[in-house]
Amino acid sequence: MNKYIYDENSGFWYELRGDYYIPCLTLPAEKEKHIGIWGQWHRRYLQEYKRVIYTTLLTSGKLNGYLADIDEQAGKMFSRLVKQTAETACFTKGVMI
């Protein structure tokens, strides 16, 4: 038996594993981007509660970019909220920044 076969109907290559031919599938290449704590928390949320969205992003090769974008947005929002809270706290005590 051949180790690899090509099916012209489906356009896939198949590899012999034991007694079965398994399709040779690979995920699309994805740029590596740093994912901070906010992106990691969002990934965990997707894995636990939104499995279809997580799987779709993962198999399309867009998960890393999506999580990096979420991380960046959440980081900016956090910084803005900290600044607003500090300003509000200083004004209520009669102290200006």
State residue 96's pLDDT score. 54
Tens-digit pLDDT profile for residues 76-85? 999 999 999 9
* Whether residue 26 has pLDDT greater than 80: no
CB 15 within 8 Å of CB 25: no
CB 97 within 8 Å of CB 90: yes
Q: Are residues 61 and 93 in the same domain?
A: yes
Q: Are residues 47 and 73 in the same domain?
A: yes
Q: Are residues 82 and 46 in the same domain?
A: yes
Q: What's the domain range around 48?
A: 31-97
State residue 89's pLDDT score. 80
State residue 11's pLDDT score. 86
State residue 94's pLDDT score. 59
Q: Which residue has the tokens 């090769």?
A: 61
Tens-digit pLDDT profile for residues 40-69? 999 999 999 999 999 999 988 899 999 999
Helical (H) or strand (E) element with 52: helix 51-60
